[in-house]
Amino acid sequence: MAAMRSTSAATSAATAPDIATVLRIAAPAPEHAGEVLTVQRAAYVTEAQRYCAPGILPLRETVEQIRADLEGAGPTLVARAAWIGPRLVGSVRGRVEGQAMEVVRFTVAPDLQGGGVGRALLAALHAAAPPQVRTFWLVTGGRSEDNKRFYRAAGYEVVGTALDDAGVELVRMERPRG
């Protein structure tokens, strides 16, 4: 998940209504690609700033690429988005390869981070994974402590490190299904 929540986001989340009563999670349609991109860019800009790496992949993805992804959703791509009223506030995609699903482009609007949207989205993605998926995995920034803490709380553990094409140190995290 991209971006740490700010103090104002924490205050906003604390005074917001119970997220479970207002949050709707469903598969996004191709026509939601623009909204997905908007939230994705807002969420990942903080990560790009943290690493002085404006060229990270989530910021280079285009609306056309997202639309194509959403059009291709099926057995090898699972997508979920979260809405509060008419506003898309988060999304996540899972790419299935064999018995593993890679969690990608996991984003929550910065003003709502820390309020339960991310937990609900991740749980929905896990639940929607095809039955053959036995392992979930993802990468996040090596210095993104809030992200690593969030994923550990969801059962993920660090299993390796790598550098991305923008020179950002990443950690690979995995969790078993179940």
CB atoms within 10 A of CB 49: 11
**Under 8 Å between Cβ of 136 and 174:** yes
Residue 69 token pair: 């992804």
Q: Which carries the bigger pLDDT value, residue 92 or residue 14? A: 92
99-151 confidence digits (pLDDT tens): 999 999 999 999 999 999 999 999 999 999 999 999 999 999 999 999 999 99
